[in-house]
């Protein structure tokens, strides 16, 4: 029996390439061992069949950004569990090959309340993370908020300007009725619990908060509980 060696060392010898290039092939998801894609260069192989995909390219894999339609009440590990191949949006047009590494070391720069639903961003890309953290307060977000109760006098003018939350004066925003029980907010710099508080200040109780858009990126028709990749050409 052949003595086991690291997959990257085996591949480098097989292809007559450098270990660095072999690692890039493996981490890019281009290498199969007995027909199964393996993404870890340190995997030990012996007599297995190691195959490089015909369209393989040794360029480093780009960090991923995932857009999820978060269900209400889901948080923590249950939220991360939705980010798997089975829940990928069928109409995702990115053509990105799913790699296990895409679901590792993800950060959530613009979170939602646990009981809210809608658009949530997970990213490995430091550029996306920095943009959302630094420019997030200036990005317009769109929300639909289901409400109960009777609005107080001058409710709309108070919602659009004139409220204070957690010691700060809120920026002016756009608010409109979509139905007798639903408000649409086009608003910036939303803090946890803010929309519920705003509604309570004008005699309404928010029963559901749903984020539809951050900047130029929206949910579109993606069903709840599903996710897609952010296209390289898309910008918030």
CA distance 40 to 27: 6
**SS3 (DSSP) at 199:** helix
pLDDT band at 60 (very low <50, low <70, confident <90, very high): low
pLDDT of res. 80 = 93
Residue located via tokens 């991923």: 64
- Please give the DSSP secondary-structure letter assigned to residue 61: P
65-136+217-229 is classed CATH 1.10.260.30: no
pLDDT of res. 177 = 96
pLDDT tops 70 at residue 234? yes
pLDDT band at 139 (very low <50, low <70, confident <90, very high): very high
Boundaries of every domain in the chain: 5-52, 65-136+217-229, 140-214
pLDDT tens digits, one per residue of 99-114: 888 998 999 999 999 9
Decide which of 68 and 15 is more confident. 68
pLDDT band at 27 (very low <50, low <70, confident <90, very high): confident
The reply to whether 65-136+217-229 and 140-214 are identical in fold is: yes
pLDDT of res. 21 = 87
CA distance 201 to 203: 6
pLDDT band at 15 (very low <50, low <70, confident <90, very high): confident
The CATH-assigned architecture of domain 140-214 is 2-Layer Sandwich (3.30)
Under 8 Å CB-to-CB from 70, ≥6 apart: which residues?
79, 82, 112, 116, 117, 118, 119, 120, 224
**SS3 (DSSP) at 118:** strand
pLDDT of res. 53 = 85
pLDDT of res. 29 = 79
pLDDT tens digits, one per residue of 177-208: 999 999 999 999 999 999 999 999 999 999 99
Query: For residues 29-40, b (16+ Cβ closer than 10 Å) or e, as one string?
Result: bbbebeeebbbe
- Provide, for the chain, the percentages of residues in helix, strand and coil under a 3-state DSSP scheme, each rounded to the nearest 5: 25, 30, 45
Strands (DSSP E) found in the chain: 5-6, 31-33, 36-37, 44-45, 50-52, 65-70, 117-123, 140-148, 164-165, 168-169, 174-179, 182-188, 205-214, 217-218, 227-229
Under 8 Å CB-to-CB from 154, ≥6 apart: which residues?
none
Of 5-14, 63-72, 102-111, 185-194, the poorest mean pLDDT is in 5-14
* Rounded percentage of the chain residues whose pLDDT exceeds 90: 64
For the segment(s) 5-52, the CATH number from 3.90.79.10, 3.80.10.10, 3.10.290.10, 3.40.50.300 is 3.10.290.10
pLDDT tens digits, one per residue of 155-167: 999 999 989 999 9
CA 119 to chain centre: 8
């Amino acid at each position: 029996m052949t003595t086991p060696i690291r997959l990257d060392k085996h591949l480098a010898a097989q292809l007559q390439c450098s270990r660095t290039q072999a690692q890039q092939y493996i981490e890019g998801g281009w290498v199969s061992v007995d027909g199964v894609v393996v993404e870890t260069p340190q995997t030990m192989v012996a007599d297995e069949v190691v195959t490089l995909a015909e369209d393989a390219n040794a360029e480093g894999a780009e960090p991923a950004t995932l857009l999820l339609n978060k269900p209400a009440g889901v948080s923590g590990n249950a939220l991360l569990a939705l980010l798997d191949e089975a829940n990928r949006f069928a109409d995702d047009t990115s053509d990105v090959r799913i790699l296990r590494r895409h679901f590792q070391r993800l950060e959530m720069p613009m979170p939602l309340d646990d009981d809210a639903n809608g658009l949530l961003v997970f990213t490995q890309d430091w550029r996306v993370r920095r943009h959302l953290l630094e420019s997030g307060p200036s990005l317009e977000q769109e929300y639909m908020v289901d409400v109960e109760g009777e609005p107080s006098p001058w409710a709309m003018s108070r919602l659009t300007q004139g409220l204070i939350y957690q010691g700060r004066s809120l920026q002016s925003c756009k608010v409109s009725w979509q139905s007798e029980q639903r408000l649409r907010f086009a608003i910036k710099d939303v803090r946890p619990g803010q929309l519920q508080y705003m509604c309570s200040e004008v005699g309404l109780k928010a029963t559901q908060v749903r984020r539809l858009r951050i900047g130029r990126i929206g949910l579109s028709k993606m069903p709840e509980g599903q996710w897609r990749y952010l296209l390289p050409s898309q910008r918030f």
